[in-house]
């Protein structure tokens, strides 16, 4: 608490950004000597330093083109897929797209989520996503039963109903009118409705959804992007208008989570084993705020990654009519209840996840021991290592034509390709919701493609604030066979 007060006073009179810059420079000088050394204790080399200044790196870490920066650094270093970033941190910060090293780190029992994750915490309230040890384990174990196969089936059938309604009430009508649709917005609406209904038995109003999405964006950009790139923002706190706005937004979302919990508690016959049921009755939560914060984690993680993956897959398929045709030909050979087993559909989804990994920020871990990479670099204990999905998935030594959308590459994948595909991360802190995400993707994509043909109207662009997403991508649906 004291640092919240001391730092602003120290720089009183200066603008907050000047204060932050001064603080950064001071800390940099103090620690640069230590982290930018070229070799380890016994003369073995550290991974190469990325050719970007610290300020440049910090800028990129908060920008929307982080994945492209990661790729550019690897290429500029002559296809080195493990390198160090210059950041004002006490420990070494390593980015890797080397499947063996990434897996070794993620699967090592001594690897932990570093304290950097705590900057994602609104008001310093710990949650399943940011913590380690027993605190994390009690939460993870508590909600794990919500992802049993019977619950996945129940949740997925609701998601299918919602997607069917969307096709009937939105997609087919806009097609008749010849109008395009914003694919990311529509998919997010479907996945948000689904998670609310299935995990929380809550019917949000359109206003609640709109406010939640707006607040989520404010919180994400401030707490995650800005804090990571400038650790001093947390001390400057309320002095920064954007930070203040984000604090308000976090409070609004916490209030929504509490309404969801209250709604659950008021129900006569709530479904057993939903996420809200398991959170509300888990003794590990000390306060209602702690419950509410975890519920928000599930609300965010449970809709945006799946929604944007649906959107990227539809966008790629719209760009590739020949791949759409392959899918339709395969679906024609099956009954609808068998569509989700279509290997052709699964390969298209996997390939779009490879090319556009929504979890682009990667999986960050702190090493509990020294590591040596296959290239002979040492990465000492306590270093921060990011398994960067964008580097892993577009590593040219693993994937031929790594930047191209080629679903058929997954027909006979090499072991290296399978190892490099880390969309849900790996190890004990991997994605708890992956079976649900896969079920939804494998059902909703064929439902849409069996009814319409898609084409691109506006390409839009790719944005990245924690989640990688297509923005301003507009598609148009056409009747099949020109009917
Ligand atoms: C395509 C969809 C999804 C992708 C690509 C994805 C990806 C990921 C990744 C990479 C992590 C690890 C993050 C890290 O190491 O920092 C993660 C964690 C997590 N995901 Fe997902 N996810 C998806 C869908 C879901 C869904 C549908 C849910 C819940 C309904 C969910 C809930 C969570 C939770 C709670 C964690 C934290 C788990 C822990 O720390 O124990 N995710 N996800
Ligand atoms: C989201 O979907 C619901 C139906 O589930 C619909 O009533 C609503 O208009 C949609 N909202 C947006 C912003 O498209």
Q: What is the pLDDT of residues 380-416, one digit of tens each?
A: 999 999 999 999 999 999 999 999 999 999 999 999 9
Distance 203 CA to ligand 2 centre (A): 12
Residue 460 and residue 110: Cα distance in Å, rounded? 42
Protein residue whose Cα sits closest to atom 31 of ligand 1: 433
In contact, 372 and 385? CB cutoff 8 Å: no
Mean pLDDT value of segment 182-203: 98
In contact, 478 and 370? CB cutoff 8 Å: no
Distance 200 CA to ligand 2 centre (A): 18
Distance 209 CA to ligand 2 centre (A): 9
Q: Is 189 in the pocket of ligand 2 (CB under 6 A)?
A: yes
CB atoms within 10 A of CB 242: 13
Q: Residues 470, 165, 314, CA angle at the centre, nearest 5°?
A: 25
Mean pLDDT value of segment 162-175: 98
- Pick the most confident of 85-94, 112-121, 242-251: 85-94
Distance 131 CA to ligand 1 centre (A): 14
**36 vs 185 pLDDT, higher one:** 185
Q: Which long-range contacts (CB under 8 A, 24 or more apart) does 194-198 make?
A: 194/155, 194/158, 194/159, 194/162, 194/303, 194/440, 195/298, 195/299, 195/302, 195/303, 196/260, 196/299, 197/158, 197/162, 198/154, 198/155, 198/158, 198/159, 198/274
Mean pLDDT value of segment 157-180: 97
State yes or no: pLDDT of 12 exceeds 60: no
Ligand nearest to the CA of 466: 1
Q: Is 425 in the pocket of ligand 1 (CB under 6 A)?
A: yes
Distance 298 CA to ligand 1 centre (A): 9
- Give pLDDT, residue 354: 98
Distance 391 CA to ligand 2 centre (A): 36
Closest by Cα among 406, 401, 399, 439 to 421: 399
Residue 459 and residue 319: Cα distance in Å, rounded? 9
Banded pLDDT at 369 (limits 50, 70, 90): very high
Ligand 1 atom nearest the C-alpha of 139 is: 41
- Give pLDDT, residue 189: 97
Looking at the DSSP bridge assignments, the partners of residue 96 are 82, 387
The pTM of the whole model exceeds 0.85: yes
Banded pLDDT at 14 (limits 50, 70, 90): very low
Distance 320 CA to ligand 1 centre (A): 29
Protein residue whose Cα sits closest to atom 3 of ligand 1: 305
Q: Report residue 140 as tokens.
A: 């993870």
Q: Is 309 in the pocket of ligand 1 (CB under 6 A)?
A: yes
Per-residue pLDDT tens for 45-77? 999 999 999 989 988 887 788 999 999 999 999
Spans of all domains in the chain: 38-482
- Give pLDDT, residue 134: 97
- Give pLDDT, residue 232: 60
Cα-flanking dihedrals φ and ψ of residue 401, to 5°? 45, 55
Ligand nearest to the CA of 188: 2
Protein residue whose Cα sits closest to atom 22 of ligand 1: 431
**177 vs 220 pLDDT, higher one:** 177
In contact, 58 and 350? CB cutoff 8 Å: no
- Give pLDDT, residue 64: 85
CB atoms within 10 A of CB 12: 8
State yes or no: pLDDT of 236 exceeds 70: no
Mean pLDDT value of segment 130-134: 96
- Longest CA span, the chain: 72
- Give pLDDT, residue 80: 96
Calculate what percentage of the chain has a pLDDT beyond 70: 88
Per-residue pLDDT tens for 304-340? 999 999 999 999 999 999 999 999 999 999 999 999 9
Residue 140 and residue 144: Cα distance in Å, rounded? 6
Banded pLDDT at 2 (limits 50, 70, 90): very low
| Reduced 3-state DSSP string for the chain | CHHHHHHHHHCCCCCHHHHHHHHHHHHHHHHHHHHCCCECCCCCECCCECCCCHHHHHHHHHCCCHHHHHHHHHHHCCCCCEEEECCCCCCCEEEECCHHHHHHHHHCCCCECCHHHHHHCHHHCCCCCCCCHHHHHHHHHHHHHHHCHHHHHHHHHHHHHHHHHHHHHHHHHHHHCCCCEEHHHHHHHHHHHHHHHHHHCCCCCHHHHHHHHHHHHHHHHHHHHHHHHCCCHHHHHHHCHHHHHHHHHHHHHHHHHHHHHHHHHHCCCCCCCCHHHHHHCCCCCCCHHHHHHHHHHHHHHCCHHHHHHHHHHHHHHHHCHHHHHHHHHHHHCCCHHHHHHCHHHHHHHHHHHHHCCCCCCCEEEECCCCEECCCCCEECCCCEEEECHHHHHCCCCCCCCCCCCCHHHHCCCCHHHHHHCCCCCCCCCCCCCHHHHHHHHHHHHHHHHCCEEEEEEECCEEEEECEEEEECCEEEEEEHHHC
- Give pLDDT, residue 230: 60
In contact, 213 and 191? CB cutoff 8 Å: no
Banded pLDDT at 142 (limits 50, 70, 90): very high
Protein residue whose Cα sits closest to atom 4 of ligand 2: 166
The CATH superfamily label for domain 38-482 reads Cytochrome P450 (1.10.630.10)
Mean pLDDT value of segment 345-369: 96
Between 238-242, 273-277, 280-284, the lowest mean confidence (pLDDT) is in 238-242
Average pLDDT, the chain: 90
Q: Is 429 in the pocket of ligand 1 (CB under 6 A)?
A: yes
Mean pLDDT value of segment 203-224: 90
Give Cβ neighbours of residue 423 (< 8 Å, ≥ 6 apart): 353, 354, 357, 358, 359, 389, 393
Ligand nearest to the CA of 137: 1
Distance 206 CA to ligand 2 centre (A): 7
Residue 104 and residue 426: Cα distance in Å, rounded? 10
Closest by Cα among 357, 355, 362, 345 to 402: 355
Distance 189 CA to ligand 2 centre (A): 6
Distance 84 CA to ligand 1 centre (A): 26
Ligand 1 atom nearest the C-alpha of 140 is: 41
State yes or no: pLDDT of 1 exceeds 70: no
Banded pLDDT at 224 (limits 50, 70, 90): low
Pairing of strands 93-96, 384-387: parallel
As a whole number of Å, the end-to-end CA separation of the chain is 66
Which among 206, 209, 212, 214 is the best mutation to test ligand 2's pocket, defined by most ligand atoms within 8 Å of the CB? 206
Ligand 1 atom nearest the C-alpha of 195 is: 30
State yes or no: pLDDT of 9 exceeds 50: no
Calculate what percentage of the chain has a pLDDT beyond 90: 78
Q: Is 143 in the pocket of ligand 1 (CB under 6 A)?
A: no
Per-residue pLDDT tens for 414-453? 999 999 999 999 999 999 999 999 999 999 999 999 999 9
- Give pLDDT, residue 118: 83
Which among 169, 184, 189, 190 is the best mutation to test ligand 2's pocket, defined by most ligand atoms within 8 Å of the CB? 189
Protein residue whose Cα sits closest to atom 9 of ligand 2: 206
- Give pLDDT, residue 4: 35
Q: Is 193 in the pocket of ligand 2 (CB under 6 A)?
A: yes
């Amino acid at each position: 608490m004291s640092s919240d007060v001391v730092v602003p006073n120290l720089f009183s009179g200066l603008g907050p950004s000047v204060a932050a810059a001064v603080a950064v420079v001071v800390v940099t000088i103090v620690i640069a000597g230590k982290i930018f050394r070229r070799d380890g204790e016994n003369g073995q080399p550290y991974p190469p330093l990325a050719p970007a200044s610290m300020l440049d790196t910090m800028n990129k870490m908060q920008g929307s083109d982080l994945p492209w920066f990661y790729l550019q650094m690897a290429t500029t270093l002559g296809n080195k897929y493990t390198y160090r970033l210059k950041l004002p941190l006490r420990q070494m910060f390593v980015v890797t797209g080397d499947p063996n090293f990434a897996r070794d780190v993620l699967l090592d029992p001594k690897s932990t989520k570093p304290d950097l994750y705590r900057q994602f915490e609104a008001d310093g309230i710990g949650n399943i996503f940011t913590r380690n040890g027993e605190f994390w384990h009690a939460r993870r174990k508590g909600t794990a039963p919500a992802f049993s196969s019977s619950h996945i089936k129940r949740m997925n059938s609701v998601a299918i109903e919602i997607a069917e309604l969307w096709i009937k009430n939105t997609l087919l009508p806009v097609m008749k009118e010849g109008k395009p649709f914003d694919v990311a917005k529509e998919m997010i609406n479907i996945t948000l409705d689904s998670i609310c209904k299935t995990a929380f038995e809550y019917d949000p109003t359109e206003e609640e959804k709109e406010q939640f999405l707006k607040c989520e964006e404010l919180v994400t950009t401030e707490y995650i992007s800005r804090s990571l790139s400038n650790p001093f923002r947390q001390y400057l706190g309320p002095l920064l208008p954007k930070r203040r706005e984000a604090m308000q937004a976090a409070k609004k979302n916490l209030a929504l989570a509490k309404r969801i919990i209250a709604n659950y508690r008021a129900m006569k016959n709530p479904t057993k084993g939903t996420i809200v049921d398991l959170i509300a009755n888990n003794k590990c939560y000390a306060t209602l705020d702690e419950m509410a914060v975890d519920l928000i984690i599930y609300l965010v993680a449970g809709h945006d990654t799946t929604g944007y993956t649906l959107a990227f897959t539809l966008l790629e398929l719209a760009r590739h009519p020949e791949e759409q045709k392959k899918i339709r030909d395969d679906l024609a050979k099956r009954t609808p209840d068998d569509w989700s087993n279509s290997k052709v559909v699964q390969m298209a989804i996997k390939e779009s996840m490879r090319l556009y990994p929504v979890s682009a920020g990667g999986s960050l871990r702190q090493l509990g021991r020294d590591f040596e990479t296959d290239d002979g670099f040492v990465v000492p204990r306590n270093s921060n290592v990011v398994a960067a999905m964008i580097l892993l998935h577009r590593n040219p030594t693993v994937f031929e034509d790594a930047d191209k959308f080629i679903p058929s590459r997954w027909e006979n994948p090499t072991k290296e390709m399978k190892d490099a595909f880390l969309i849900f991360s790996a190890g004990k802190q991997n994605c708890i919701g992956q079976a649900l995400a896969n079920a939804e993707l494998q059902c909703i994509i064929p439902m849409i493609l069996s009814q319409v043909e898609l084409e691109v109207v506006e390409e839009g662009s790719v944005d990245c604030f924690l989640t990688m997403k297509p923005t301003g991508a507009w598609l148009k649906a056409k009747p099949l066979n020109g009917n």
